[in-house]
Structure 1
Amino acid sequence: MLSGFVTLLLFTVAGEAISAMFNLPVPGAVTGLILLLIWLRVKGGVSDNLQKVSQFCIHYMAVLFIPSAVAIFFMAELLSRQWLPLVLATFVATPVGIVVSGHFMQWLLRRGEKQ
């Protein structure tokens, strides 16, 4: 299980480094996930250790978001000034992101079946 955690950590650090080095508009964590996806495609699958660590992280994801949710209560003034971008991000960008991700996943699955 330790090797799975180290793998996730290495890809996160690599993504942060690449995003900072090339001044990318994408967060380093996202860059790391893209690198991990490419690596898993080249490798041909997910190891048992990486799968166990990933399931563990998903299981406790709600706990990881609690600090962010608590911080919202202390930012009431900022939120009241920035309500329009927040509403647009929530009700427009989120569904668009879900649809695009779903289509991309279907494309990847069809591509994998052809191979």
Structure 2
Amino acid sequence: MKIVKSFVQIGYLYIILFIGNSIARLLHLPIPGSIIGLILLFLMLQFHLIKLEWIELGAGLLLSELLLFFIPSAIGIIDYDALFGIQGVKVILVISVSAFVVMLVTGYTAQWLERKKGDAA
């Protein structure tokens, strides 16, 4: 039953993603639809239009398998060996620094949310 619930919740997240993509396409916005969907999800959670319990399990499943989503893009980068020949060190440095910043911000945000969740209980 937990698996079915996870997939239903992932379906909710995809609906929000679809809405964000549709808004970006219809309004010809320079912002990716996934970012608009993320903002919509945040606003819906903040204004209690949807409950965290409705998406928490599915989002947790997606986050736990997040590394798998990077494999296709990493393999795609390998096809551009000319890019690495010209600016390989710069590209690797930018990727490393940005990955470190993302991990740092994610870690601090997760700790902050855990403390906030613990204070509310």
Q: What is residue 11 of structure 2 aligned with on the other side?
A: 6
Q: What is residue 112 of structure 1 aligned with on the other side?
A: none
RMSD: 3.1
Q: What is residue 110 of structure 1 aligned with on the other side?
A: none
Q: Tell me, which stretches of 5 or more residues in structure 2 are unaligned?
A: 113-121
What pairs with 1:9-20 in structure 2 (closer than 5 Å)?
A: 9-20=14-25
Give SS of 1:38's match: helix
* Counterpart-to-counterpart distance in 2, 1:17 and 1:82: 36
Q: TM-score, normalised by structure 2?
A: 0.65
Q: CA deviation at 1:21?
A: 1.1
Identity of aligned residues (%): 24
Q: What is residue 46 of structure 1 aligned with on the other side?
A: 52
Q: What is residue 71 of structure 1 aligned with on the other side?
A: 76
Q: Tell me, which stretches of 5 or more residues in structure 1 are unaligned?
A: 107-115
Alignment of 1:21 with 2:56, yes or no, is no
Alignment of 1:31 with 2:14, yes or no, is no
Tell me the alpha carbon deviations over residues 64-106 of structure 1, each in whole angstroms, 9 at most, x when there is no partner.
Answer: 1111111111111134456698468547777788899979xx8
Q: CA deviation at 1:3?
A: 3.2
Runs of 4+ in structure 1 over 6 Å off: 91-103
Q: TM-score, normalised by structure 1?
A: 0.68
